Amino acid sequence: MKLTTCVLLVLWLLLFGCSPKPVYVPVSERADQSTQTGQQDVKRPDTQVSGQKDRDRAAIEEETLQRDLERQRMLQEQMKKEAASLFKDILFEYDSYSVRSEYEGLIKEVATFMSRNQNAKVTVEGHCDERGTVEYNLALGQKRAEAVKSLLVKTGVKEERVKTVSYGKEMPVDPGHTESAWAKNRRAHFKME
Amino acid sequence: MRKCVWLAISLFLISVALPASAKVSLDIYGQSYKKITIATPPFKGTDSASKLKTDMPDLLGKDLDMSGFFIVAPKTVMDRELTAEGVEKKDIRFENWRSLGIELICKAVAQVQNGGLTIESYLYDSSDGTLLFAKRYRTKTDEWRRVVHRLADDIIQAATGERGIMSSRVLFVARDKRGKDVYVSDLDGGALKKLTEHGGITVSPAMSPDGRYLAFTSYKEGKPNLYVFDLERNREVYANREDGTKIASTWLDKRTLVYTHTTGRNSTIFSENIETKEKKVILRQEGILASPNFSMDGKKMVFVSDMYGTPQIFIRDLSSGETKRLTYAGNYNTTPVLSPKGDLIAYGCKTEGALEICVMKSDGTEPRVLTDGGVNDSPQFSFCGRYILYSSDNGRKAAIYLMLHNGDNKRLLTFTQSEETQPKFMP
């Protein structure tokens, strides 16, 4: 539901928002309209012919541009979808910020994905479970995010394409107070920009 | 502003408190102290004062009870004869009070004149009828709660040798539907005010000693940035948007903020003058540095470091640069705060399944657990050093508590109805 609204909004923006003209008219109907409104025609009849051509060309370019944008958007969306399914959370031991060796494969997959999608940027979020102090957990979350980032950088991802942010214990994925909830909350989460 | 009001009140002192010997002393490692029994009979006063519809003796009793030093006589033990007595020494039959086991009696007269409230109060020792103090307080009628808190603090001073903290205000973080924001409130939950309005997440507030600048970390721009808000001019005066996590800790003076910055491999404790932007590195280390806190003279700093693998507490002499590890027990010791006298450190330590508030001597010896289960965080000494403010989460909702520094007299403070954390006494 939300996604549909987003897509519609983006389409609407593409069609109307970025266009220098207030109304988009398909090329086939354009000639008619210009004679109908005809304001410029009356005021500057000598520029009518060349003006008409310019406008046609601009409209075509615009359409191509929009098609490109749309394609890019679709690609971006597809990439994010792929990333979301690919980028599982990295879980940590209590009070630890070393990435366990079992996540080597995941780090490599993320790095491969980043090299396939050269425009992609990722934010690594560091999170902690509730069994610690607010302040220490904020620092710990940062270290978890940094640990994952440094592994990505070692695997060949450019440093400037990876951001880090710590949420400490402020945003648990599972609000429970059990071992299994805590285990899920001690995580580094990948988020595509 | 508030200080001015209090100053004005002090000017109306009609007689300076007589030197009263301290009735109780509190020793954290010694035996439990004996509580004093006190009565706060109904205030005498004019009709206009009774029209205020306030129960001042009740609030006074609650304050004294919360202080942990008194047993307050319930209203029901005072018969008509006792409550009808006058306030002057000659009117009081001390043997009647003594027979009820009451040691101190606080008598008062409340009057409303020209829209102002005047309270005259007299504190008597029932054993020999000594007048321990007589004071007159004057304020606006809608500030009656504050006057009662002040009276309570004066009684606590007369009885224990040190002022009470019932007039204190508390800074804390509370969550509402929009997110976490910073609030300030009187200790009794009155005069609640929201200081930030960012929605999202705002954490770790630190108020400058003059109460003008509020430093905090907020995610309002998507990452944990450090901001300072000028409460006098009502605008943001400082923002640190560098990469990494920046957490405000405390203020060294009116303009110098201390904060930690964790980014890349290192953590750094900075001090920065928020007006001149002059910035100094106090300490930089690989790994995590957190929760720096300073002695009153600014010469010593306690902090948390994970340099040996787990969070432990260290103390650093800032002039010599000598650092000493203080905690060796357990694998999680954090949020240290030095007591105002510098003799104690309160901190959080992880025990089997819980995070407890503990206290130890400032050389790391004689550690003692004060709380009893749950996630307890952010201990803070009162300015007199006798109380510790902290947050406690028993799995349902985090709330703010006050206790004596020996762990006795734990009291839930109620401000908002929602989750509350990171309490600090207002300067």
Query: pLDDT (tens digit, 9 = 90+) per residue, B283-304?
Result: 999 999 999 999 999 999 999 9
| Interchain contact, B262 vs A177, CB within 8 Å | no
| Interchain contact, A139 vs B245, CB within 8 Å | yes
In a mutational test of the A interface, the residue from B241, B242, B245 whose CB has the highest number of chain A CBs within 10 Å is B245
Q: What is the pLDDT of residue A47?
A: 52
For chain A, give the percent of residues with pLDDT over 70: 74
Beta bridge partners of residue B351, listed in sequence order: B354
Query: pLDDT (tens digit, 9 = 90+) per residue, A130-155?
Result: 989 999 999 999 999 999 999 999 99
Q: What is the pLDDT of residue B376?
A: 95
Q: What is the pLDDT of residue B75?
A: 87
DSSP 3-state of A165: strand
For B267, nearest residue in chain A (alpha carbons): A139
Interface check for B263 against chain A (CB to CB < 8 A): the answer is yes
Average pLDDT, chain B: 89
Interface check for A181 against chain B (CB to CB < 8 A): the answer is no
Query: pLDDT (tens digit, 9 = 90+) per residue, A29-68?
Result: 444 444 444 444 444 545 556 677 777 888 888 888 888 8
**ipTM reported for the complex, 2 dp:** 0.86
For B169-425, CATH gives 2.120.10.30
Query: pLDDT (tens digit, 9 = 90+) per residue, B102-148?
Result: 999 999 999 888 878 999 999 999 999 999 999 999 999 888 899 99
Q: Chain A, 51-80: which have a CB under 8 Å from a chain B CB?
A: none
Which residues does chain A have within 8 Å of residue B395's beta carbon, measured at their own beta carbons? Answer: 177
| Interchain contact, B422 vs A139, CB within 8 Å | no
CATH 3.40.50.10070 fits B2-160, yes or no: yes
For B398, nearest residue in chain A (alpha carbons): A130
Give residue limits of the domains in chain B: 2-160, 169-425
Q: What's the rounded Cα separation, in Å, for the pair A102 and A100? A: 5
The beta-carbon neighbor of B304 closest among A134, A136, A167 is A136
Which residues does chain B have within 8 Å of residue A167's beta carbon, measured at their own beta carbons? Answer: 201, 219
The alpha-carbon gap from A111 to the nearest alpha carbon of chain B, in Å, equals 19
The beta-carbon neighbor of A142 closest among B244, B335, B422 is B244
Q: 0.80 cut: is pTM over it?
A: yes
